[in-house]
Amino acid sequence: MPARSDSLGVNKKDKTLSKIYKNAADALAGLTFDGMTVMSGGFGLCGIAENLIAALRDTAVKDITCISNNAGVDGFGLGQLLETRQIKKMISSYVGENKEFERQFLGGELELEFNPQGTLAERIRAGGAGIPGFYVKTGVGTVIAEGKPTRDFNGEDYIMETGLRADLSIIKAWKGDAQGNLIFNSTARNFNAPMATAGKVTVVEVDEIVPVGALDPNHIHTPGIFVQRIIEAKCEKRVENRTVREKN
């Protein structure tokens, strides 16, 4: 664990409080194992933990169950873990931007648990809140409902969904402090905020680590109690689909 700086507002005498790690590889050290479940924040390529995903790839850990809205794109984001065959199963709501995902799934090489997007978000939130299951109307009468308990509420059928937890959540935020308090930037908040609460261990990469006390408590999206490790890292922030107007 790296030494901390007084400029970050941390008491140097108490080394046990440090959550800051020098890079993504160090932040994941000792956390990964074959067959683990990983939550990866982001929506498309917006708000993905680019450096932590690359570091997870470099660990060569295999048979990952990955909970993420989508699977990145070919060669970037979670697409890197698909190319190295490190992901065994995806729990997702949209995977349409990744040809390698399509190839592996149709070829029977990859398991897929599809969720309506709102249901996926609520399963993650529920897991973080300690809620083991809940009832929802979305998916009733479709393949989504197959094998799931149903119950009548006020004359209408609902299916039971279970909360989701992960061994590790890898999260991207805009700013954080040495205590792990986080602020997300606009729509990059997406799945990151609920996933930060649903991991047994949550590791975060931020654009900037600021001194403790610099963040207005009223503006903090995720309290540091949910964060175990944090790094400051530069991100490419690649655009998934660039659409521009033709010149007049």
Please give the pLDDT value at position 9.
44
Which one is predicted more confidently, 183 or 102?
183
Report pTM. 0.89
The answer to whether position 245 is within a domain reads: no
Residue 197 has pLDDT above 70, yes or no: yes
Range of the domain at 170: 16-133+163-232
The answer to whether position 32 is within a domain reads: yes
Which one is predicted more confidently, 191 or 95?
191
CATH number of the structural domain spanning residue 59: 3.40.1080.10
**What's the rounded Cα separation, in Å, for the pair 139 and 19?**
41
Q: In the chain, at which residue ranges do the beta strands (DSSP E only) sit?
A: 37-40, 64-67, 87-92, 111-114, 133-136, 150-153, 156-162, 166-177, 182-183, 199-210, 229-232
pLDDT tens digit string along 205-222?
A: 999 999 999 999 999 999
Please give the pLDDT value at position 233.
92
Mean of all residue pLDDT scores within the chain: 91
Residue 14 has pLDDT above 90, yes or no: no
AA letter at 211: P
Please give the pLDDT value at position 16.
46
Stretch 71-98: mean pLDDT: 91
DSSP H helices, the chain, are 24-28, 50-59, 79-83, 99-106, 117-129, 192-198
Give the confidence band of 245 by pLDDT, cuts at 50, 70, 90: confident
Residue 239 has pLDDT above 80, yes or no: no
The answer to whether position 154 is within a domain reads: no
For CA atoms 215, 221, 223, 229, the dihedral sign is negative
AA letter at 19: K
Please give the pLDDT value at position 209.
96
The answer to whether position 24 is within a domain reads: yes
pLDDT tens digit string along 147-178?
A: 999 999 999 999 999 999 999 999 999 999 99
Stretch 118-131: mean pLDDT: 97
The answer to whether position 240 is within a domain reads: no
Residue 222, burial from CB neighbour count under 10 angstroms (0-12, 13-18, 19+): buried
Give the confidence band of 17 by pLDDT, cuts at 50, 70, 90: low
Residue 69 has pLDDT above 70, yes or no: yes
The answer to whether position 241 is within a domain reads: no
The answer to whether position 186 is within a domain reads: yes
The answer to whether position 152 is within a domain reads: no
User: Across-strand partners of 199?
Assistant: 166
Residue 34 has pLDDT above 60, yes or no: yes
Please give the pLDDT value at position 7.
41
| 99, 124 contact by CB (below 8 A) | no
Q: How many domains does the chain have?
A: 1
Please give the pLDDT value at position 2.
40
> HSE on the CB side for 59, CA within 13 Å?
25
What are the angstrom distances between the C-alpha of 108 and each of 4, 92, 102?
48, 17, 10
| 166, 200 contact by CB (below 8 A) | yes
